[in-house]
Amino acid sequence: MRSPDIRSTFLDFFSARDHRVVPSSPLIPNDPTLLLTAAGMNQFKPYMLGESAPEYRRATSVQKCARMSDIDNVGRTTRHATFFEMLGNFSFGDYFKEETVGWAWELLTGHFGLDPDRLWITVYLDDDEAERMWRRLGVPDERIQRLGMADNYWSMGAPGPCGPSSELHYDRGPSFGREGGPAVDGERYQEIWNLVFMQNLRGEGPAKEGYPIVGELPARNIDTGLGMDRLAAILQDVDTVCETDLVAPTFRLVQELAGREYPGRDGSEESVSFRVVAEHARSAAFLIADGVLPGKDGRGYVLRRLMRRAIRHARVLGIEEPALAALTGSVIDNLGPAWPELERRRDLIEQVVAAEEDGFDRTLRQGSRLLDGAIERARTSGSGLSGRTAFELHDTYGFPIDLTVDAARSAGLTVDEDAFGELLERQQRQAKDAERDRKGGAVARQDAYRRIAARHGLTEFVGHDGTRADARVVGLLDGPDLVEEAVEGQEIELILDRSPFYAEAGGQVGDTGRVTTAAGTLEILDTRPGLDGLHVHRARVTAGEVRTGVEAEAVVDAERRAATARSHSATHVLHAMLRRVLGDHAAQRGSRVEPGRLRFDFAHFGAVGAGELTTVQTLVNDYLLDDPDVRVWEASRDEAEAAGAIALFGEKYGDHVRIVDIGDASRELCGGTHVGHGSQAGPVHVVGESSIGVGLRRIEALTGADALRHHDRQQELLTELAGLLNVPPDQAPERLRQRLSALAETQRELDRLRQAERTATAERLAGRSERVDGAWLVAELLGDVPAEELRPLAIELARRPGPGAVVLGTSSGGTATLVGAFTRDLADTGLRARDLLTSAAQIVGGGAGGKGALAQAGGRRPEQLREALALAADAARTALRGPSSR
C-alpha cells in the first residue's frame, strides 16, 4: 500500500466514526514549553488541559513531527527518523479505552491487512483494564507484555498532559533480531501505534520516567499516534523507513551521487551514512518549509546540526560536490503533492541548504587547517591530542569529533575522548539547566493562567470596536504567584474578564494605556497573550491599590494604537507591493509592527537594489494615496483560502478566521488592528534593507507622522550641507561629488609624495648600514619620522637585496616606538622579528607584538629609547651571525 493510500485509509476510517479531520499544525509549535512539534497531540494540548473548548469532541489528523531525541539512532536502526508523519485519533472527554483499543485492532488487521498473529501488545504495569480488552479481541497472554513508565506512560517530555499507554508492535521476523517480544528487542518487534489514555497532569522532571504525577485532567482524553514510516515499511515489505515510498526517491539519489549502491542492512558505517543523508534531507526540507532557519541556538541549531550531519555523511560516501539542494529538491518532488508547503517554499529550501552546505564546507576546511596545526604541535611535544583542543574545534568551528579522531589516528596520535566528553557534557548540562529554568518560569506562569481561565473563562477582547471598556479584575500575578492585591509602586500582571487592549500577536506590539478602579490606578506597560484567548497586562500600580474582583475602567492609549494601526495596514500593502516587484517568492517571514515604524522580513535571495526599493516605496504610497477601503470580514479557514487570503508564515490559525482586505491589492488573515481607509496609513518611508540570514531580507520603514518627521530632518540636513557648499540644495550632490573627486586626487598626490620621501629615506639609511657576517643591518634612531611611518619604512628597507635586518625607533607624545624586520629569506629560515624587540620593549616599559618578518613594540618610557634600540641592534647582530653565536 502506497503512502497516499495509507493516509486516506486512516483518515476515512475515523472520519466515518464522527472524527473531525484536522490539518497538521506547523513544526513550530504555539507553545513556549516546546521547541518543535513532536507529537500529534501538541496542537490539541489546550483542549486536554481544559484551557479551550473544542468545536468537536473527536478529531483525526496526519501530523508533521520533528523529534531530535533519536537523532543518533537514525541510520543505525531500521525504524528511527528525525521527521515523521504521525497518524492520530483523539477524543476530548468523549470515548476512552474500549473504543480506542477496538478501532486500532480493526484498522490494522482489517483495513491495513496486518497478520494478527504477528501483533504484540504492551500495556502499563498496573493497567489490568487495557489488558482485558486486548484479551477479548483474541490476543493471547504470551503476546501481551507489561512495561514501566519509560515505555508505557506517555507525556510530551515536559509538564502537561500524560497518561498510561498501550502500544501495538509488529514482529518483523528473526532476521531483525531476537525472540521474546517488545520487552526484549525493539528492532524485531517494532512499535507502530501508541494508544495514550490521557488522564493525568505531570510536573517538572526527567523526560521519560521519574517525573511526578501532580493531578488529573479535567476530563479523560485519548491521544494516539501511528507511525506512518514504520507502517509503510511493513506494508511495502522493505527493511528500513528510508526504503519506503516516503524517502525512496531521495535514497536512490544519494546512491547515484555516491556512484555506488546501498549495501543493504549489513550494519556497516557505509549503510548508516546512506540512510542518514536521505533521512536528514527530508527533515531539513520540512523544517525550512515551516519557518525554521539555521542558527546558533534553539530550532536554528537543530536544523543546522541536521544539515551538517547530512553533509558530513555525504562526504564519507565520497560525495564531494554540493548535494543538499538536489536532495531536498527530490523530497519536494516526492512529497510536495501531499504537503504543498514544500512546493511553495522550494526556492527558499534549496537556497538555504545550498548556502549552509557551502558555509559548512568552509568550516571543514578551516577546521582541517587548525586540526593539522594541533596535530603537528602534538607530534612535536610527543603527546596525544587534548580533549580541550577537540572540544574547541567542535564548539567554535563545528568540526565533528569523529573527524578529529580519524585525522589524529591517521597521524598516529590518540585523542583524549574522555576529556572531550566531560567538556561536552558540562556544556550540555549548563544549556539544559538554563532551559529548565526558562521553562520552569514559563510553566509556573502557565499553571497560574490556567487556574484563572478555569475559574473565570478567557478574556473577551473588545478592542477591535473601541479603545475603552468596563471590566472586572479576575487575576493578579506577582511573578508566577497569584496574589489578592497590589499596592502603589508594585509591578504586576493584571488579567481582566474583558479588555480593549490588543495582546501582542502577528507581529503587532501589545497595547499600553491605563486601568482605573475605585481604589487605585494602573499604568499598562504592555499586553501579551498568556494562554490562547487570555490577555495578560503588564502593569504598574501608580496610585492607591488594586484587588481581585473589583470593577475597573480600561482605556487604551488611543494615539499609540492609531499609530500602530497605521503601521500594520502599511505592512500589508508593503507585502503586496514587494511581491509585485520581486515576485511571489518574496513572502512574509516575520514582522514587527510598532507605533510609527515597521520591520518586515521576507524571503529573497539577494539584496534589493536601490531602484527596486524606490519602486516599492512609490507603489506603496501611491496606492495608499488612492485611499482604498479597508474591509474586515470573517469566514472559515477553507473559505478564506479559497478567496485567496494569504496565511502568514509560522502563524497559527483556528477554523474560523478574520480577514483584512486593503482595496484589491492585499487580502490577509489577520487578527490585528487597522486603519479605516488606506490614506490614513501613509506616508511610508523606507529607511533600510538588509540581510538577516540565508535567503532572508529585512526592510525597515517609518509611517505616518514619524515618516514626515524623518523627511523634515533629511531636508534640514540637505539645506545645511548646501549652505556649507555655498550652492542651492538641488546642486549640493554634484558640488559634493566634485569636492570629493578633488580631495581624492589630492590624497593620491600626497601618497605619491610620501612614498617618494620614504624611498629617499630608505636609500639614505641603507647607505649607513653595517655589515654583519655577509648580511646587512640598519639600526637607526629617527627623531624626525612619525611613529606611523616606521612600519612602512622598515618594509621598504627589508625589500633590499641580500639577507639583512632592520631596527628603527622614534618617540612622540610621551611614547616610544620600535620596529624590527628581517628580509624574507631570513624569515623563511625561522627567524622572528619579534625576538629582536622582546627585551628592548621591557626597557621602554611595554611589550612587543607581531609575527614572522615584521614586529613592533612600544612603551611609556621614551627616555630609555636609545638604550632599547641598542639592545635590539645587538639582538639583530646575534641573529645575523647564525646559530653558533646564539
Residues within the annotated binding site for Zn(2+)?
Answer: 568, 572, 670, 674
Q: Are 33 and 439 in contact (CB under 8 A)?
A: yes
CA nearest neighbour of 777 among 753, 797, 750, 755: 797
Distance between CA atoms of residues 411 and 36, nearest Å? 41
Task: Supply 579's cell numbers.
Answer: 511581491
User: Do residues 631 and 613 make contact, with C-beta atoms less than 8 angstroms apart?
Assistant: no
Written as one letter, the residue type at 200 is N
Select from 213, 232, 72, 100 the least CA-distant residue to 166: 100
Cross-strand pairs, 791:
none
Sign of CA dihedral 99, 37, 24, 52: positive
699 forms bridges with which residues in the sheet?
A: 600, 689
The three cell numbers of residue 883 are: 646559530
Beta-bridge mates of residue 771: 776
Q: Say if residues 34 and 158 touch (Cβ distance below 8 Å).
A: yes
Cis bond upstream, residue 174 (ω within 30): no
Residue 721 neighbours by CB under 8 Å, 6+ apart: 732, 736
- Residue 787's closest CA among 852, 864, 865? 865
The answer to whether residues 147 and 183 touch, using CB atoms and an 8 Å cutoff, is yes
The three three-digit cell numbers of residue 641, written as one number: 483560502
Output the 3-class SS for 81-105. CCEEEEEEEEEECCCCHHHHHHHHH
Q: Residue 102 has which C-alpha cell?
A: 477496538
Nearest to 809 by CA among 770, 864, 850, 880: 864
Binding site per annotation, positions: 568, 572, 670, 674
- Give 755-818 as a DSSP string: HHHHHHHHHHHHTT-EEETTEEEEEEE-TTS-GGGHHHHHHHHHTSSSSEEEEEEEEETTEEEE
As given in the structure block, the three cell numbers for residue 306 are 541536521
- 6 sits in which H/E element: helix 3-15
Helix (H), strand (E) at residue 661: strand 656-662
Q: Residue 634 forms beta bridges with which residues?
A: 658
813 is written with which cell numbers? 607624545
Distances from the Cα of 15 to the Cα of 21, 196, 203, 228, angstroms: 7, 20, 34, 18
Owner of C-alpha cell 479481541: 137
CA distance 768 to 783: 16
Helix (H) or strand (E) holding 189, with range, is: strand 189-202
Exposed, middle or buried by CB within 10 Å (0-12, 13-18, 19+), for 300? middle
Identify whether the C-beta of residue 456 lies closer than 8 Å to the C-beta of residue 475. yes
Burial of 420 (0-12, 13-18, 19+ CB in 10 A): buried
Q: Are 600 and 506 in contact (CB under 8 A)?
A: no
Q: Let me know: does 855 contact 836? Beta carbons within 8 Å.
A: yes
Q: Which of 810, 806, 782 is nearest to 855 (CA)?
A: 806
Q: How many CB atoms lie within 10 A of CB 640?
A: 22
Amino acid identity of residue 292, one-letter, is V
| 493 closest CA partner among 558, 557, 543, 446 | 446
Helices (H) and strands (E) in the chain, counts: 24, 32
CA–CA separation, 123 and 129 (whole Å): 10
